[in-house]
Structures are given as structure tokens and as C-alpha cells.
Structure 1
């Protein structure tokens, strides 16, 4: 389910089955590597949407949390989101391709295990069939992580 009106009724009817919240983390920066930063956000958006499609009925995809890449306060926002979402969902997963977030969370045990970092794959000039294959591979990796989390 997604953060859209048509899915809210479905969510309300099947709350007990939807135990995982997914929040994409999207960096924003107009500095040096603009295309790279946009590419990371685009990649995570594709992965998030495909993950939700495959796990519809078990996960709830929230709107992307955009943040300024140079901001050090993003971890505080992530912790705040996690705290809020854990009131409703057993599992809260954050998806990112921003390597700086991986560094920021390395000493934040309460967020570290919920952050899934994926190396970004630029889709700009990629053939659609190759893009789908790469997405499938990434989704498989995330599914393995989610299965481990669900089995705890």
C-alpha cells in the first residue's frame, strides 16, 4: 500500500496484516554532483515502488523523506520518523543510496539496523530490460533482509 487515498481504505481494513513501513530517504543538493544526487534519489524511488508492488498487503510505502545532503540533522528526523511509525508498525525500514547516511548511522544503533543502503545504479541511458533485471536483483536482496527481520 502507498500513501495514496485509494490505499487508505484497504489499509484500514487490513491493518493487522500490514506490519512493515518503508520510508525512502532522498538526498537533495544543488552542489557539485547534482546528477549523481538526483540519480540516487531516482533509484531509491524506483526500488521503493517496486518493493511495494511486490509486497502489497504486507508493507506500507510512505512518501519519501527528502533532506539536504549536507545536513547533519537528518538522523534526528529518521529517529523521529521511526519512533512515530513504530507505534503502528512492527518493522520500519529506511531505504537510501546516500553513503553519507550509512556513515552517520554507524554509531546510531537504534537506526542502524533499520537503514538499508543500496549502491545507486544510474538508469539514465539504460535499456529498459536491463533496468528491470537490476531492479529485480535489488528487490531480492531487500526481500532477504526483510525476511530475516520478519522472522525475528
Structure 2
């Protein structure tokens, strides 16, 4: 389910089955790494949409959380998001390709922040792109299954 009115209506009717919030994270930077930053964001958005498509009825895909790459309060904001979303969803997952965010350890986000290495997709054959995205989604599915089985 996505952040659209029709899906919220469906969520309200079936919320006992939808226990996982997925929030894509995208760093914003227009410096020397502008294109690389955009590529990472594009990749996370594609993976997030594919994950939602495959797990519709179990996950709710929130809008992308964008932040300035040099911002110092990103982790604090994510902890606030996690706390807010856990009032409605048993599991909260953040997806990112931002290496700096991955390296910033925080026990409150342990197991909630999933880092994916970026695969440049811009000049790739459509079939290969689909396969690579599917592989990434399968890795996330394995993480989610472990999380779901623990609870």
C-alpha cells in the first residue's frame, strides 16, 4: 500500500494484516557528487516501489524522507519517525543507499535501517535492471521475514 487516499481506505479496512511501515531515505546534495546522490535516490525509490508491489497487503510504503546530506540531526529525526510510526505499525523499516547514514551507529535504529549498495541503472538493459531490482527486493524480504518471525 502506498501513500494515496485509496490505499489508506483499504488500509483502514485491513489494518490487522498490514504491520510494516517502509520509509525510503534519500540524501540531497548538489555538490560534486550530485549525480551519484541522485542515482542512489533513484535506486532506493525503485527498490521501495518494487518491494511494496510484492508485499501489498503486508507493508505500507511511506513517502520518501529526503534530508540534506550534511545534516546533523538525521538520526534523531529517524528515531522520531520510528516512534511515531510504531504507534500504528509493529515493524518500521528505513531503506537507504547512504553510506554515511549506514556507518552512523545507533542502537535505537538497529535492525530498522537497511542499507543497499547502489547499482547504477541508467544505461542498463531493462531485463537486467528488473533482475537486479528483484535480487535487492529478495534480500530485503529475507530481512523482513527474520524480523516478522521474531515477533
Q: TM range, normalised to the smaller chain? A: over 0.9
Gaps of 5+ in 1: none
Alignment: residue pair count: 150
* Distance in 1 separating the partners of 2:114 and 2:96: 6
Question: Offset of 1:57 from its aligned partner?
Answer: 0.3
Over the residues paired in the alignment, what is the CA RMSD in angstroms? 0.5
Give the equivalent residue in structure 2 for 1:63. Answer: 63
CA–CA distance in 2 between the matches of 1:122 and 1:68? 21
Tell me what 2:6 maps to. Answer: 6
Correspondence 1:15 to 2:11: no
Q: Which one of 131, 143, 146 corresponds to residue 133 of structure 1?
A: 131
| Counterpart secondary structure, 1:11 | helix
Question: Corresponding residue for 1:48?
Answer: 48
Q: Which runs of 4+ in 1 moved over 6 A?
A: none
Aligned counterpart for 1:117 among listed residues 91, 115, 118: 115
Distance apart, 1:112 and its partner CA:
2.3
Specify every segment of 5 or more residues in structure 2 that has no aligned partner in the other structure, as ranges: none
Query: Residue 16 of structure 1 aligns to a residue in which SS?
Result: coil
Partner of 2:36: 36
* Alignment TM-score, normalising by the size of structure 2: 0.98
How far 1:113 moved relative to its partner? 1.3
